[in-house]
Chain A
């Protein structure tokens, strides 16, 4: 009941003319960013973040969340119309979305994607609202030891569940953590890793510099290399009859959609998992529980609805640990966290006590963003068809310029612009060599928290390392972290055992 009252007050904030306009603007921008092949929510948030200085901090976060939401909706558009996922999160949508478009049902597929995204978004926002307060209350009991254990747990999920090469994941986590230590030592204040006393490094390496480099410049370079020929855009028309047919079809899929929403929400909370695996899992479940599994992959509307509910639910799910615990559940929420810290809004349980207006304004804006996204998405479909015909070179040039200027604006130092270019090239090469980028960005954002909580605990416990396992909550987190860490080892040994049998044949 108290939650409802707080949420009601939140709506008073989020429905103010400025914030409502911001939500609509953000969702529209997000839809276009998501619809562009290659650019997803994380690229959109990284590139747009420096531009959000134009509005007050709390509105800036609402704007970024709206972009995040819009981009999750928009990913489906290029999956259906081009057959290329607009972002990795929309990969599963191509499986049935593309065949539907080829059968002349592109409009229906887009409506299904939008409505499914809305259902997934709404169910997950309700779950978010219900879980936020209990989780924040729990997190209030956290001391530095628990914080350290939780960050450690977040990193080990990448090792245990990430699915990428384990050694390469560890390299990227360590690289991010080491880069986060550049600048002044947290405890003693002495400079470290300033690389020959370069003054630019004294301020440390901003998460924004790394994110714009890797997700802006790096992404564009990657897309330049992989986009050899311009893809053909399938035309899509939206008529009232198709809208009606779409809604009737969606009405039969409540089971698939609610399953996808719950699945997406909980998978999305894990830092290593997130929207892409959630949507693939939801697609798999929808196919295996369907009465006509063979129709999947040939243009079954359920195959569009399932992944789209799950990836939107996952994006909301990943906001939950970010806002309540200060541990982001995805690279995009890591950037949101970095942005919030930059604006002096420290995410975590204290935010719910100190800034309830902001927190509930943000949560309620997720409801409005969802509502705005589904309407704008369906209304602007003809515009997206037109925008997807935009030559890729134009997009590249403009994004590059935004990266240069956006990288300069926050610190006003050319040093950061050079770093962005360097990180861009390095990120492009690392990505080509299958090094996962998400742990790198998460590690840079969480690095200071991890080091501070580790050293604070040891100072207050007079150097007793066992302090981390003696406290019940932190001990439990460390135990789960250890489990995740040995998980790939167990898998490897079992696989290795089989391999050693093979040569004997």
Chain B
């Protein structure tokens, strides 16, 4: 728990420094002409407060007694990491093979392989979800989801609904 606390505090300090480095592109000081601070002041000084607070958390944790409490539950952490990887792979696939291939793949993986559910449930959700998404977003809201290389498959459907 303490190690995680320190790592997160250091990460936040790093992030603050990164924000500050970007913020100085605009004036961070007092703008004498118009009155009031420049465009970079808000992000810069708030990042500084964030950095100081994170430093405070770090210093405090250095003096704290170690506890038995674990930050991650070892067994369940594996599931979390697997799901996060699957999520990132799915998002990465969407612009390439299209939402209507990537999302059913994700659902199939999640329900059948990760969740271990029956084939019937898997089939219902894998087919039902993209059909719902198509009618809700494309037909009703006219919001086109990315299709990547599968775009030509949808021309007949477009002709039918638009």
Residues of A within 8 A of B (CB): 51, 53-54, 165, 167-168, 170-171, 174-175, 177-178, 181, 185, 187-188, 190, 192-195, 217, 220-221, 224-226, 228, 391, 393-394, 396-398, 400-401, 404-405, 408-409, 412, 414, 417-418, 421, 424-425, 428-430, 432-433, 435, 451, 454-455, 457-459, 461-464
Other A-B contacts than A404-B91, A455-B36, 16 sampled, CB-CB below 8 A, are A170-B49, A170-B53, A171-B12, A171-B57, A174-B50, A175-B12, A190-B39, A192-B40, A217-B87, A224-B79, A396-B83, A397-B110, A398-B125, A404-B90, A409-B141, A432-B72
**Cα separation A177 to B47 with both chains bound (whole Å):** 9
How many whole Å from A503's CB to the nearest CB in chain B?
A: 14
Contact between chains at A181 and B90 (CB < 8 Å): no
Tell me which residues across on chain A come within 8 A of B144, comparing CB atoms.
412
Known: A54-B136, A168-B57, A409-B143. A421 touches B87 (CB 8 A): yes
Interface of B: prevailing SS: helix
Count of A-B residue pairs with CB < 8 Å = 177
Tell me which residues across on chain B come within 8 A of A464, comparing CB atoms.
35
Question: Does B145 count as interface, using CB distance less than 8 angstroms?
Answer: yes
**Cα separation A408 to B141 with both chains bound (whole Å):** 13
Chain B 9-42 residues near chain A, CB threshold 8 A: 12, 15, 19, 22-23, 25-26, 30, 32, 34-40, 42
Contact between chains at B42 and A394 (CB < 8 Å): no
Tell me which residues across on chain B come within 8 A of A462, comparing CB atoms.
35
Residues of B within 8 A of A (CB): 4-5, 8, 12, 15, 19, 22-23, 25-26, 30, 32, 34-40, 42-43, 46-47, 49-50, 53-54, 56-57, 60, 71-73, 75-77, 79-80, 83-84, 87-88, 90-91, 94-95, 99, 103, 106-107, 110-111, 114-115, 117, 121, 125, 129, 133, 136-137, 140-141, 143-146
Tell me which residues across on chain A come within 8 A of B50, comparing CB atoms.
170-171, 174-175, 178
Tell me which residues across on chain B come within 8 A of A188, comparing CB atoms.
26, 38-39
Tell me which residues across on chain A come within 8 A of B87, comparing CB atoms.
217, 400, 404, 421, 424
Tell me which residues across on chain B come within 8 A of A396, comparing CB atoms.
83, 110
Known: A192-B22, A405-B137, A425-B84. A432 touches B129 (CB 8 A): no
How many whole Å from A324's CB to the nearest CB in chain B?
A: 26
Contact between chains at A451 and B110 (CB < 8 Å): no
* A174 contact from B49, B79, B80, B114, Cβ within 8 A: B49
Known: A225-B79, A451-B42. A54 touches B140 (CB 8 A): yes
Contact between chains at A391 and B143 (CB < 8 Å): no
Tell me which residues across on chain B come within 8 A of A428, comparing CB atoms.
80
Tell me which residues across on chain A come within 8 A of B99, comparing CB atoms.
405, 408
Contact between chains at B95 and A224 (CB < 8 Å): no
The chain A residue with its CB closest to the CB of B43 is A181
**Cα separation A116 to B120 with both chains bound (whole Å):** 41
How many whole Å from B143's CB to the nearest CB in chain A?
A: 5
* B145 contact from A167, A178, A194, A405, Cβ within 8 A: A405
**Cα separation A398 to B95 with both chains bound (whole Å):** 20
The chain A residue with its CB closest to the CB of B115 is A393
**Cα separation A458 to B30 with both chains bound (whole Å):** 11
Tell me which residues across on chain A come within 8 A of B23, comparing CB atoms.
192-193
Contact between chains at B47 and A432 (CB < 8 Å): no
> Can you list 7 A-B pairs with a CB-CB distance of less than 8 A?
A168-B53, A225-B72, A401-B133, A421-B88, A432-B71, A433-B8, A455-B36
The chain B residue with its CB closest to the CB of A407 is B91
